[in-house]
Chains A and B, each alone.
Chain A
Amino acid sequence: MSTINASNLSKTYQIHEKQQGLKKSIQDFFSRKYVFKEAVKNLNMTIEKGEIVGLLGENGAGKTTTLKMLTGILYPTSGKVTVLNYTPTQRKREFLKKIAFVMGNKSEINWDLPAVDTFRYQKLVYQVPDDLYKKNIDMLAEMLHVKHLLNTQLRRLSLGERMKMELINSFLYSPEIVFLDEPTIGLDLNSQLAIRKFLREYREERKTTIIITSHYMDDIEETCDRVILLSKGSKIFDGALGEITRLYSSNKVLQLVFDQPIHPYEFAQYGEIIEYKENTLKLMIQKEQYRSIVTGLMNQNKNLIDISITNVPFKNIVNQIMAEGRIS
């Protein structure tokens, strides 16, 4: 039995359509228009123990709604879901003790007290034995480099440090599945890197199943084994990270550097411009046209001083898929 099993999972929200302006608002007060929004449509997925899976999609693609159904916060409108063989919405205590949900935009730790006070409370709620609690806190604080901050009032910590405390708070009872919703939102690069490294190392050590959503493609690329792409509530891709890059391996990125500023549109005929800055240009081109394009450019352009070719970055591939709404 897989750790997570979802079949034909759907969630429809009923939303009251709010109109602009005072007059409309007053009309609205007496007769309301409701619209139905299908946040998740017929989602099928299975996730095995120990996998790190990235859930990707544009804003409103249904990522968070999916996580909320998997954790039992939301009742699915239709379909079936089991997590660790439990039905999440029954919210059985044994089930809740085995999962953790870290929300990047919601803090759970008491603002006025040092983090360690909240951890002790968490220990009691999740009935963590003393020795395991001590061991876990030591290990987690060590991995995240925040050992010296455990006794500082939470409000005096930086955003990155607070997020690390949230992670400790969620991992200290050794959950079997951890759901992370935008864990690196708003963090600086150092903190992002530390959190990614932590997730990888932790999984190696504990074989914990981790499901993560993020807007930072680097988060996904550096931590996940597998990605699931959602678009407007439907799954459009589900597979290993390498597979998605392979699908787009017919394209390459050509970086051109000139000794003077250039007009990017002169080069649009060769391929899609993905980045441009004064005298540097990045073009996405077809792999097989590489030779002819390069010779062409070398012959026609005396100002060209450097050419390099790389694979298409993961984030550009994902952006392209998102824009098209399907795998091409």
Chain B
Amino acid sequence: MQKYLYSFRMHLLESFQYRFDTVLGLLVSNISMFITIIFWMLIYRSNGTGVLNGYTMADMVTFFVASSLFRTFILNGGGFEIASMIKNGDLSRIIIKPHSINIFLYWKYLSNALFEFIKQFTFLLLIAPFFAKHLTWKLTAQSIILLIAYLVTATFISHLIWVLLGMTAFWLEQAQAVMWSFAVIINFLSGMFMPLDFFPHWAVKVLELLPFAVFSYIPAKLYMNQLSFAQGVNLLIVYIIWILVLLLLNLMVWRAGVKKYSAVGG
């Protein structure tokens, strides 16, 4: 455990090395949030009703702003890293260390996520005066605990899904296309562009049970106090089952993959 914590700390330190990169990254990563918010503002204006599907404009802004914060806990770096390690043979030196690659990558990208979270949080505080009137704040102690549980769950699920996708490189060599296509699908199904309850009722029921909803839609709903505690706990159990399923899949794919691995280069 100590070794993973050390690597966590080491990568956190590393993140602080490049100031320019940090600031630029922050602006770029928020452009898509701004575009989405402006897009919805236009819809509200042209529609003229002020409420869409139960969402007021303030709700909508809150949804996307909160989502942008929760989304920092999506760990996709481990998947991309494992894919490139397989492709260029760097996996060789990692594979013969007495540690678990999956856990190592998890901590590495969790430190990344934490850094992103701090960045995004600071950024939102700075720009808060401009949109504060649109924001709602309805958290209780109970929902804060559940929210944290969701975010932790989201880190596990996202990491496992992305590593699973990254491991397709054992067979495909070049897994980037697969990963980016899935990125689009996963983003959409997690509610990045619109809240999932804009879908028909039956579809919402299914989408909520998929592991992607925990990345931003479900925590955002909880934050907006539109999810009861009991409902929330039930969903948490579903997501924990997903973690177990994904762990098992990871193990199976890893075992089959390393046998295919050809350790190119060198």
Contact surface of A with B, Cβ cutoff 8 Å: 13, 64, 68, 71-75, 91, 93, 96-97, 99, 101, 103-106, 108, 110, 112-113, 117, 120-121, 124-126, 181-182
Which residues of B from 1 to 35 have beta carbons under 8 Å from A?
2-3, 6-7, 10, 13-14, 17
In the bound complex, how far is the Cα of B7 from the Cα of A112, in angstroms?
A: 13
Closest residue on chain A to residue B1 by CB atoms: A124
In the bound complex, how far is the Cα of B265 from the Cα of A182, in angstroms?
A: 12
Which residues of B from 232 to 266 have beta carbons under 8 Å from A?
258-259, 261-263, 265-266
Which residues of B from 90 to 119 have beta carbons under 8 Å from A?
90, 92-93, 95-99
Query: Which one of B14, B99, B262 contacts A113 once the chains associate, using CB atoms below 8 Å?
Result: B14
Interface pair A105/B98, CB less than 8 Å apart: no
In the bound complex, how far is the Cα of B258 from the Cα of A64, in angstroms?
A: 17
Interface pair B98/A125, CB less than 8 Å apart: yes
In the bound complex, how far is the Cα of B265 from the Cα of A73, in angstroms?
A: 13
Interface pair A96/B98, CB less than 8 Å apart: yes
Interface pair B266/A105, CB less than 8 Å apart: yes
In the bound complex, how far is the Cα of B7 from the Cα of A110, in angstroms?
A: 11
Interface pair B96/A106, CB less than 8 Å apart: no
Interface pair A106/B92, CB less than 8 Å apart: yes
Count of inter-chain pairs, beta carbons less than 8 A:
65
Contact surface of B with A, Cβ cutoff 8 Å: 2-3, 6-7, 10, 13-14, 17, 89-90, 92-93, 95-99, 258-259, 261-263, 265-266
The 27 listed contacts between A and B (C-beta, < 8 Å) are A13-B262, A64-B266, A68-B263, A71-B96, A72-B95, A73-B96, A73-B261, A73-B263, A74-B263, A75-B258, A91-B95, A96-B98, A99-B96, A103-B92, A103-B266, A105-B265, A106-B89, A106-B92, A106-B93, A113-B13, A113-B14, A121-B6, A124-B2, A124-B3, A124-B6, A125-B3, A182-B266
Interface pair B14/A110, CB less than 8 Å apart: yes
Closest residue on chain B to residue A64 by CB atoms: B266
Interface pair B98/A93, CB less than 8 Å apart: yes
In the bound complex, how far is the Cα of B98 from the Cα of A13, in angstroms?
A: 27
> A residues within 8 A CB of B17?
112
In the bound complex, how far is the Cα of B265 from the Cα of A104, in angstroms?
A: 11
> B residues within 8 A CB of A112?
14, 17
- Chain B's nearest CB lies how many Å from the CB of A72? 6
> B residues within 8 A CB of A74?
261-263
Interface pair A121/B7, CB less than 8 Å apart: yes
In the bound complex, how far is the Cα of B252 from the Cα of A171, in angstroms?
A: 33
> B residues within 8 A CB of A108?
93
Query: Which one of A75, A101, A120, A124 contacts B93 once the chains associate, using CB atoms below 8 Å?
Result: A101
Interface pair B14/A75, CB less than 8 Å apart: no
> B residues within 8 A CB of A125?
3, 97-99
Closest residue on chain B to residue A95 by CB atoms: B98
In the bound complex, how far is the Cα of B17 from the Cα of A113, in angstroms?
A: 9
> A residues within 8 A CB of B13?
113, 117
- Chain B's nearest CB lies how many Å from the CB of A108? 5
- Chain B's nearest CB lies how many Å from the CB of A155? 10
> B residues within 8 A CB of A72?
95-96
- Chain A's nearest CB lies how many Å from the CB of B65? 32
Interface pair A113/B266, CB less than 8 Å apart: no
> B residues within 8 A CB of A104?
266
- Chain A's nearest CB lies how many Å from the CB of B196? 38
> A residues within 8 A CB of B97?
96, 125
- Chain B's nearest CB lies how many Å from the CB of A201? 25
Q: Which 8 A-B pairs have the closest CB atoms?
A: A124-B3, A96-B98, A93-B98, A73-B92, A125-B3, A73-B263, A97-B98, A112-B14
Interface pair B96/A96, CB less than 8 Å apart: yes
> B residues within 8 A CB of A117?
10, 13
In the bound complex, how far is the Cα of B13 from the Cα of A120, in angstroms?
A: 14
Closest residue on chain B to residue A153 by CB atoms: B17
> B residues within 8 A CB of A103?
92-93, 266
Closest residue on chain B to residue A124 by CB atoms: B3
> B residues within 8 A CB of A124?
2-3, 6
> B residues within 8 A CB of A106?
89-90, 92-93, 265-266
Interface pair A113/B10, CB less than 8 Å apart: yes
- Chain A's nearest CB lies how many Å from the CB of B73? 24
6 additional A-B residue pairs with CB within 8 Å, beyond A68-B92, A73-B263, A96-B98? A75-B259, A97-B98, A110-B10, A113-B13, A120-B6, A124-B6
> A residues within 8 A CB of B265?
105-106
- Chain B's nearest CB lies how many Å from the CB of A38? 14
Closest residue on chain B to residue A182 by CB atoms: B266
- Chain B's nearest CB lies how many Å from the CB of A74? 6
> B residues within 8 A CB of A99?
96
Closest residue on chain A to residue B99 by CB atoms: A125
In the bound complex, how far is the Cα of B3 from the Cα of A181, in angstroms?
A: 27
> A residues within 8 A CB of B2?
124
- Chain B's nearest CB lies how many Å from the CB of A151? 14
- Chain B's nearest CB lies how many Å from the CB of A115? 12
Closest residue on chain B to residue A102 by CB atoms: B93
In the bound complex, how far is the Cα of B263 from the Cα of A13, in angstroms?
A: 11
In the bound complex, how far is the Cα of B2 from the Cα of A120, in angstroms?
A: 11
Closest residue on chain B to residue A111 by CB atoms: B14
In the bound complex, how far is the Cα of B6 from the Cα of A113, in angstroms?
A: 13
In the bound complex, how far is the Cα of B262 from the Cα of A103, in angstroms?
A: 16
